């Protein structure tokens, strides 16, 4: 029986093999945040001669890449990237996701929006039929925390301030439990439109394009709209 760490290692290595054939000396990759992505970065580092560098969704990932010799670019200096590779806290059958357990949801959403393809890397424990068991992170401007909390409660959620966390954007995170997420894209749009919300951790309006799922039987590949 593979441990969760071994499952993460397998899917991280599969992601490296997925992107390698498309890399050129001018390629800039998008790289996310989290424990599985940490392993992806470590697995990508031996191939630095194959690509130009990467854009990161967090200071944590930027520091890890720089320490391993991967050149880190500011997104403002990048016009295009073929892949954004990141994990998820939950992913459903339609490849909609909840992200933000590591607190980088806004930057993850921004970097992902520039990439041609979002490659999500997860172990099988992250697959669900319906999103919502994992509390939904919502990044908020501090002065709006309580007003946003009241509106999230009106949607049926139970918001809780994530203690001791300030995002890379200088904001706070509300973790919202108890939501019934039957229509992820609609809920994402509704929460994003609440004044004071920077971004919510639903990635449904633009979900994953490809998912690599690490299972006890190997790494499976899922694609959006695939039968």
100 annotated as ligand-binding:
yes
88 annotated as ligand-binding:
yes
32 annotated as ligand-binding:
no
Backbone angles phi, psi at 38, to 5 degrees: -55, -45
24 annotated as ligand-binding:
no
Is 108 a known active-site residue? yes
| Calpha distance 184→25 (Å, rounded) | 38
15: tokens are: 């992601």
| Calpha distance 177→52 (Å, rounded) | 41
9: tokens are: 């290692």
36 annotated as ligand-binding:
yes
Contacts 24+ apart (CB under 8 A), 23-28: 23/47, 23/50, 23/51, 24/50, 24/51, 25/50, 25/51, 25/52, 26/52, 27/51, 27/52, 27/81, 27/82, 28/52, 28/53, 28/54, 28/55, 28/73, 28/78, 28/81
87 annotated as ligand-binding:
yes
102 annotated as ligand-binding:
yes
227 annotated as ligand-binding:
no
> What secondary structure letter does DSSP report for 127?
B
* 18 close to 119: Cβ distance less than 8 angstroms: yes
Instruction: Find the catalytic residue in 6, 26, 59, 108.
Output: 108
209 annotated as ligand-binding:
no
Q: Hunting for tokens 């799922």 — which residue is that? A: 213
99 annotated as ligand-binding:
yes
196 annotated as ligand-binding:
no
The annotation places the binding site for substrate at 33-36, 86-89, 99-102, 126
Residues that are catalytic: 108
The annotation places the binding site at 33-36, 86-89, 99-102, 126
């Amino acid at each position: 029986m593979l441990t969760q760490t071994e499952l993460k290692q397998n899917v991280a290595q599969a992601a490296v093999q997925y992107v390698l054939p498309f890399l050129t000396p001018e390629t800039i990759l998008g790289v996310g945040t989290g424990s599985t992505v940490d392993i992806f970065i470590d697995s990508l580092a031996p191939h630095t001669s194959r690509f130009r560098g990467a854009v990161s969704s967090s200071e944590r990932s930027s520091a890890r890449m720089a320490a391993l010799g991967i050149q880190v670019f500011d997104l403002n200096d990048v016009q295009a990237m073929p892949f954004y590779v990141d994990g998820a806290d939950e992913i459903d059958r339609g490849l909609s996701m909840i992200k933000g357990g590591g607190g980088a949801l806004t930057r993850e959403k921004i970097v992902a929006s520039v990439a041609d393809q979002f490659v999500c890397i997860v172990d099988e424990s992250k697959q669900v039929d319906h999103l919502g068991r994992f509390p939904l992170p919502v990044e908020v401007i501090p002065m709006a925390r309580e007003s946003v909390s009241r509106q999230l409660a009106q949607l049926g959620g139970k918001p809780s301030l994530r203690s001791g966390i300030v995002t890379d954007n200088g904001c706070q995170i509300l973790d919202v439990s108890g939501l019934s997420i039957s229509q992820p894209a609609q809920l994402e749009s509704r929460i994003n439109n609440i004044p004071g919300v920077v971004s919510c951790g639903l990635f449904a309006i633009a979900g994953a394009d490809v998912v690599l799922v690490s299972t006890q039987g190997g790494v499976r590949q899922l694609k959006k709209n695939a039968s």
